[in-house]
Amino acid sequence: MHKSFSKLISVQTGILFLLLLVSCNKIYDPIPGASYSAGDVSNTLAKKLAANSSYSIFNAALNRTGLYTVLDQANAKFTVFAPTDAAFTASGLSLAVVNAMPLDQLTSAINYHIIPNETITGAQIPVTVPSVEKKSALNITTTAFVPSIPTTAIPIKMSIFPSKRATGTWVNNIPVTAADVITGSNGVVHSVAVIVSPPTRVLLDTLSRDPEFTYLMAAVARADSGLTSASTSSLQYALGQPFANLTVFAPTNTAFQTLLTGAITQALVLQNVPLATAQAQAAALASTPAVFSNPALFSVLTATTVKGIVSYHVMGQRFFSVNFNATAANYPTLLNLGIPTHPGVSVSSTLVNNFGAALSVKGAANATAATAIATAAGVDRHAVNGNFFKINQVLMPQ
Amino acid sequence: MKKKLSGILLMVTICLLSLHSMAQSVTIKGNVKSVSSKEAIPAVSVGIKGTSYGVYTDEKGDFSITVSKLPVTLVISSVGYETKEQTITNASEMVMVQLGNISTLGQEVVVSATRVATKILESPVSIERISAASIQSSPVASYYDVISNFKGVDMMSSSLTFKTPTTRGFLGSGNVRFNQIVDGMDNQAPGLNFSVGSVIGLSELDVDNMELLPGASSALYGPGGMNGTLLINSKNPFKYQGLSFQVKQGIMHTDKKFRDASPYYNWNLRWAKKIGEKFAFKVTGEFVQAKDWLAADYRNYNKGTGTLASGDRLTNPDYNGINVYGDEVARDIRPIINNFAVIPGYAALIATLPTTMNVSRTGYTEKELIDPYTINFKVGGSLNYKINGNTEAILSGYMGSGNTVYTGSDRYSLLDLKMAQFKFEINSKNWLIRAYTTQENSGNSYNLTATTSFFNEAWKPTQQWLPEYVASYLDNRLSLGMNDQQAHIAARAFADKGRPVAGTPAFNQLFNFIKGIPIGKPRSGAPYGGGRFLDKTDLYNVEGQYNLSHLTKGFADVLVGGNYKQYVLNSQGTLFADSTGTIGIYEVGGYVQAAKELFNEKVRLTVSGRFDKNENFKARFTPRATALIRLSKNNNLRLSYQTAYRFPSTQMQWINLFVGGDYWLIGGNKDFRSYYGLNSNPVYAVVNNVATSQVVQVGDLKPESVTSFEIGYKGLNLNENLLVDVYAYYGQYQDFLTRRLVIQNPTNAATVRKFSIPLNSSSKVKTYGFGIGLDYKLPLNFTIGANFSSDNLTDVPAGFQASFNSPKYRTNLKFANLGFGKDNRIGFSVIYKWMDSYHFDSDFIVGEVPAVNTLDAQVSYKIPQTRSVLKIGGSNILNQYYVQGPGNPAIGGIYYVSFAYNVF
């Protein structure tokens, strides 16, 4: 008893001493938000770009559009294809022009250079065929494209296609002049040779607006045998719906006239029409796109035949000229959906300064290859749902 | 209620008329002074030897007593002074008496231990007594806090003005195992089930003494006192007369950690007057106002598993902060996200997301919701009439109102809570009868979680909020490149756009609208109802006691008593299952006690038994036996066997509260079983928030009981300078009342319901503990004291939530001087308290409470001419914030200056 009593006393004294040492009370400590980290905010792409004098126009655009704050968010990931000042100049855009551009247009253009939620270094850009599809920061509502296609107004992300070959790296058809120029806490920046313009229309819309393709569109309508773009089995639907990835070799009106005149003449001659008459009749018949809706010619231009020819001009994947090789190679077309063994089209493309400079495409039954007609921006003509080339011959599958 | 009051008044009149008054002829006048200070001593008892007749000196020390004939011998006595006898043969001269101070160690008289006045040294059970003088010399800001400096006492502060003491475990602001009895009235709020001593009760200057009985005490005080009983007695207006007041002005939150530095006001007033020899009255009032302590525990808590979770509002989308409300509502957003997979470019991201993604609504902190000001306003008074020398009739009333915060299964803002107790009592030398009522009105009180959740729904329904959140989340990831965490943060900001900011007129308008709507009463603009409860439950109690000792003299001292209690539950369906009308519950009880001196007055044996019957439960008998062994003069050993029990509280019987989230809190009355079909449509056990296939049979509830054994020693040693008090106890709980979660129709999403049902645990849990207290009187009025105590719970089965909530060890160290310097005018006291860390269980939060150290100190200066005290003091003067339970406020320092007039 005595022992335990003195023990108790010593426990008490011990506690007393302990108390003098430990006079701080602990209470629940977490300060709200304390476990949150804004990340490495001093090394964001926005800050690193701002510190880089080669991107002064791009930086001005980021500031003007407010996208600086987006790229300044450290808890995020981005892959940015940033045009240098030289690239802006090459695209004909000075700082003054950029500052004067309508803001929404500028915002769309800059957003198209950004892939959110992913950090894709130069080494990670794949060499696959077709090119990998990435979603840019540019959102457009589907109804903005083809009012004739009834869709609900859902935001879609405009696709962008980084690709790589032994000869270089591109985004869409634009050369990446230097990969991994900037690595920040929230992503990576690659330099591009010129600005990467976002497409604004779907193929159906673009082709329909171009007077050089009235025959092609008439052929498409004939191939659809009266089906409208609202019907999912129609070619028009395929060309009109914004989520597709297509490549179209679009023959000009002249190419169709040449083909049709020859074909009709041949058919008339076989019916013992004198050649001169046949030529004149054929030229008259082929002088308008209505040739495809002329009942007298239905036996010659059957829907199946026309559909076969039109399908032969469309690839079910999105290719830019830079994605083809200099030596011709065969690629399947939509025709292969019906005839899997068909050899497809043979395509070759050459580069100048890593831009696609010349593209040739040859149908299986063509004697010669057709060539793509270039604009100042090159041979590629980019639409929301695909890329197309304006060619000078109709491709013949057989 | 009016009817009942007028009934009580009628009773008073009849009683007063039916009793005759005594005839007297000679009046003796006199005055009593202190030998040391030569100042008048008020409230000194002046009695006539051989009778129980007596008077008290007034605030000037004067007395006047009328006797039938001379000579008489006057007995003049007062606590802290020697007792003097003086024989009076001539009434024409003033009787001048001077009393000398004496040591007060162990000299107090206590009543509650055996219901008859006993010297504290001879109490057969453990008891602590707090006198008005010890309240006055205590450093703490409110008299309730004085209790916590005694051994074995834990105190829960769920608000500055809401304090709940306990002994031997089961700390909680709604402690139903510890009775608080004020002037003979149980002051448990009959509907809300918490004791409201610190909210209504007595104002500080009217407290004569407090007696604390740790341990089981049902045998004398009825059901409820399982762990202890606190009795607070007011000052009789015959004894303590005159005007007293106390102004305490303080400052809190000085470090601005939780709130800006703000004043603390505590004003007290008491006025008592004797009119003639027969009649006296008193009026008391207390006003407390301050910015309340803040519950700012923002840790993330998983209520389903009862554990803390990682992250906070920014880093965890499923965050549910402890003192953040409205964020209890959480849903899995993955099903909504899956609907977005059809949009090209989304599927790839969606495939990488987890299969469940719980997101909680954004809550508001307690600081944003609750009025920072806690207010407590008490008024009370009594009319006392001396029917004859032995018999006094008392009509008294206490009313309290205020804003405070209570922690139950949730935090409750008790806004404009009103409580009143009215009593009529006649007590005589050998008997007493007492009738009282407790009238409760919950005012505008509301539940924080329900109110805030429904506020969120009223602002923007979760059904709308979630899709907005999801759309934004996906866009943030896919368009803005944000990582998961940042996308959640921005999505929340998007869905919360326009969310009313706390404190703005828009917020206040909507929040006040929702909090004003009763629970479960939907209306336009509030489809789920609001968070207000409308409790107006009342209690009526009649009791009597008779001391037969004068009849049984020579055999034993015998005491008998009984009471009848009637509860009237009235919450209009907001708390109880009383939507169709009030629910009555009656209880009846009786007790008998016999005490006998044995072995030449070496041993005093007391045996008592109590019988109680509640209309919903079988009758109970609780025995008690105590023995006091007088080892030598002022050295006593005490032994006791006590039993106690409690009937399930009114809430455990009849609560019917929809808590939200398909979750009902229900009572144990058999009507609930048939109403909800608990047995016909089986309910299944829920473990860790997951339904199991184990069917739970819901049976009848039984009262909970405890049996305890105690041994103790109290004695004066070292030349009567050292008071030692030691105890050890062992107790066993049986039919422990607890709650468990069950689920009905778990597989049917449309009809699934969860119930929290009360039940008796079949396990017998055991408690044991000890305490030691030492008080040493040093020369020159210095005293030093120390106590150390321990409470333990064992044999707790796994998974059993006992809510013992008590530290294993705690200690108090005290150093004080009751008077030094010129005329012993200066005094001080310093109290150091340490409590070990402990585990805290509650329906609200389960978690650890860290160890607590506090230092309280005061210095006082007495002005004897006006019996005034100027005091500078502070509780927790190091301003070391501490908590007494997770989710409860952090308590810091209060520093004050007080001036008290006419208080000693």
Task: Give B14-49 pLDDT, tens digit per residue.
Answer: 444 444 444 447 888 899 888 877 778 888 888 888
Round the CA-based radius of gyration of chain B to a whole number and report it.
30
At B207 the pLDDT is 92
**Cβ–Cβ < 8 Å for B68, B389:** no
| Distance, CA of B633 to CA of B552 (rounded, Å) | 27
Chain A within 8 Å of B481 (Cβ-Cβ)?
yes
Out of B343, B485, B851, the one facing A154 most closely (by C-beta) is: B343
Residues of A with Cβ-Cβ distance to B310 under 8 angstroms? 35
A36–B314 CB contact, under 8 Å: yes
Task: Give B312-346 pLDDT, tens digit per residue.
Answer: 899 999 999 999 999 988 899 999 999 888 877 78
Portion of chain A with pLDDT greater than 70, in percent? 90
Neighbours of B876 (CB within 10 A): 25
B832–A33 CB contact, under 8 Å: no
A139–B479 CB contact, under 8 Å: yes
Closest approach of B311 to chain A, Cα-based (Å): 6
Q: Give the mean pLDDT of B532-561.
A: 88
At A142 the pLDDT is 60
Out of A31, A117, A159, the one facing B349 most closely (by C-beta) is: A117
The residue of chain B with its CA nearest to that of A159 is B345
A27–B890 CB contact, under 8 Å: yes
Chain B within 8 Å of A330 (Cβ-Cβ)?
no
Task: Give A367-391 pLDDT, tens digit per residue.
Answer: 999 999 998 888 999 999 999 999 9
CB–CB contacts below 8 A, A to B? 115
pLDDT top residue among A34 and A73? A73
Closest approach of B251 to chain A, Cα-based (Å): 21
At B23 the pLDDT is 45
Task: Give A82-103 pLDDT, tens digit per residue.
Answer: 999 999 999 999 999 999 999 9
Residues of A with Cβ-Cβ distance to B482 under 8 angstroms? 73, 75-76, 116-117
B297–A28 CB contact, under 8 Å: yes
Residues of B with Cβ-Cβ distance to A137 under 8 angstroms? 479-481
Lowest mean pLDDT among A206-210, A223-227, B283-287, B399-403: A223-227
At B891 the pLDDT is 94
A36–B482 CB contact, under 8 Å: no
Residues of B with Cβ-Cβ distance to A27 under 8 angstroms? 850, 881-883, 890
pLDDT band, very low/low/confident/very high, at A13 (cuts 50, 70, 90): low
At B375 the pLDDT is 92
The residue of chain B with its CA nearest to that of A111 is B479
Out of A23, A137, A139, the one facing B853 most closely (by C-beta) is: A23
pLDDT band, very low/low/confident/very high, at B780 (cuts 50, 70, 90): confident
The residue of chain A with its CA nearest to that of B257 is A31
A116–B343 CB contact, under 8 Å: no
Closest approach of A50 to chain B, Cα-based (Å): 19
Residues of B with Cβ-Cβ distance to A32 under 8 angstroms? 298, 312-314, 321
At B20 the pLDDT is 40
B883–A8 CB contact, under 8 Å: no
At B661 the pLDDT is 60
Closest approach of B861 to chain A, Cα-based (Å): 29
Residues of B with Cβ-Cβ distance to A153 under 8 angstroms? none
Residue bearing tokens 């058999």: B670
Residues A82-115 as b/e (b if ≥16 CB within 10 A, e otherwise) read bbbbebbeebebeeeebeebeeeebbbbbbbbbb
At A3 the pLDDT is 47
At B831 the pLDDT is 94
Chain A within 8 Å of B347 (Cβ-Cβ)?
no
Portion of chain B with pLDDT greater than 70, in percent? 96
Q: Give the mean pLDDT of A239-260.
A: 92
Q: Which of residues 26-55 of A touch B (CB under 8 A)?
A: 26-28, 30-36
Query: How far apart, in Å, are the Cα atoms of B332 and each of B343, B346, B357, B452, B863?
Result: 21, 19, 5, 20, 69
Interface test with B, best of A11, A19, A28 (most B CBs within 10 A): A28
pLDDT band, very low/low/confident/very high, at B381 (cuts 50, 70, 90): very high
Question: Is residue A396's pLDDT more than 70?
Answer: yes
Residues of A with Cβ-Cβ distance to B887 under 8 angstroms? none
Tell me whether the omega of the peptide bond preceding residue A130 falls within 30 degrees of 0, making it cis.
yes
Tell me whether the omega of the peptide bond preceding residue A332 falls within 30 degrees of 0, making it cis.
no
| Distance, CA of B773 to CA of A158 (rounded, Å) | 80
Q: Is B853 helix (H, G, I), strand (E, B) or coil?
A: strand
ipTM of the complex: 0.81
Which residues, other chains included, contact B226 with Cβ-Cβ below 8 Å and sequence gap of 6+?
Answer: B170, B177, B178, B216, B218, B644, B645, B646, B704, B705, B706, B733
Interface test with B, best of A25, A69, A136, A158 (most B CBs within 10 A): A25
A35–B486 CB contact, under 8 Å: no
Task: Give A44-78 pLDDT, tens digit per residue.
Answer: 999 999 999 999 999 999 999 999 999 999 999 99
Q: The whole model's pTM is what?
A: 0.85
At B59 the pLDDT is 80
Task: Give B477-521 pLDDT, tens digit per residue.
Answer: 988 899 999 999 999 999 999 999 999 999 999 999 999 999 888
Extract the tokens encoding B602.
């070496």
A156–B345 CB contact, under 8 Å: yes
| Distance, CA of B443 to CA of B425 (rounded, Å) | 29
Give the torsion sign (CA, B320, B326, B330, B333). Answer: negative
Q: Give the mean pLDDT of B697-726.
A: 90
At A14 the pLDDT is 52
**Cβ–Cβ < 8 Å for B452, B512:** no
Chain A within 8 Å of B776 (Cβ-Cβ)?
no
Chain A within 8 Å of B882 (Cβ-Cβ)?
yes
Q: Which of B413, B165, B154 is nearest to B295 (CA)?
A: B413
Residues of B with Cβ-Cβ distance to A159 under 8 angstroms? 345
B788–A135 CB contact, under 8 Å: no
Query: How far apart, in Å, are the Cα atoms of A308 and each of A38, A236, A260, A337, B730?
Result: 57, 14, 15, 11, 98
At A147 the pLDDT is 45
B477–A117 CB contact, under 8 Å: yes
Residues of B with Cβ-Cβ distance to A19 under 8 angstroms? 832, 834, 853
Task: Give B632-684 pLDDT, tens digit per residue.
Answer: 888 999 999 988 888 888 888 999 887 666 678 899 888 888 888 888 888 99
B613: Cα within 13 Å, side-chain hemisphere:
6
Chain B within 8 Å of A76 (Cβ-Cβ)?
yes
Question: Is residue B252's pLDDT more than 50?
Answer: yes
pLDDT band, very low/low/confident/very high, at A150 (cuts 50, 70, 90): very low
Mean pLDDT of chain A: 88
Task: Give A273-294 pLDDT, tens digit per residue.
Answer: 899 999 999 999 999 999 988 8
Task: Give A222-241 pLDDT, tens digit per residue.
Answer: 999 888 877 888 899 889 88
E strand or H helix at B380: strand B373-388
Residues of A with Cβ-Cβ distance to B301 under 8 angstroms? none
Beta strands in B160-202, from DSSP E residues, in sequence order: 162-167, 178-182, 185-186
| Distance, CA of B797 to CA of B132 (rounded, Å) | 44
Question: Is residue A1's pLDDT more than 60?
Answer: no
pLDDT band, very low/low/confident/very high, at B293 (cuts 50, 70, 90): very high
Chain B within 8 Å of A70 (Cβ-Cβ)?
yes
Extract the tokens encoding B689.
């928030």
Chain A within 8 Å of B93 (Cβ-Cβ)?
no
A243–B344 CB contact, under 8 Å: yes
Please give the DSSP secondary-structure letter assigned to residue A367.
S
A157–B479 CB contact, under 8 Å: yes
Chain B within 8 Å of A5 (Cβ-Cβ)?
no
Residues of B with Cβ-Cβ distance to A68 under 8 angstroms? none
Chain A within 8 Å of B312 (Cβ-Cβ)?
yes
At A5 the pLDDT is 46
Closest approach of B891 to chain A, Cα-based (Å): 10
pLDDT top residue among B115 and B578? B578
Mean pLDDT of chain B: 87
Task: Give B839-897 pLDDT, tens digit per residue.
Answer: 998 888 888 999 999 999 999 999 888 889 999 999 999 999 999 888 999 999 999 99
A187–B481 CB contact, under 8 Å: yes
At B798 the pLDDT is 72
Residues of A with Cβ-Cβ distance to B853 under 8 angstroms? 19, 22-25
At B43 the pLDDT is 83
B886–A28 CB contact, under 8 Å: yes
Query: How far apart, in Å, are the Cα atoms of B444 and each of B200, B371, B508, B509, B839?
Result: 17, 12, 15, 15, 33
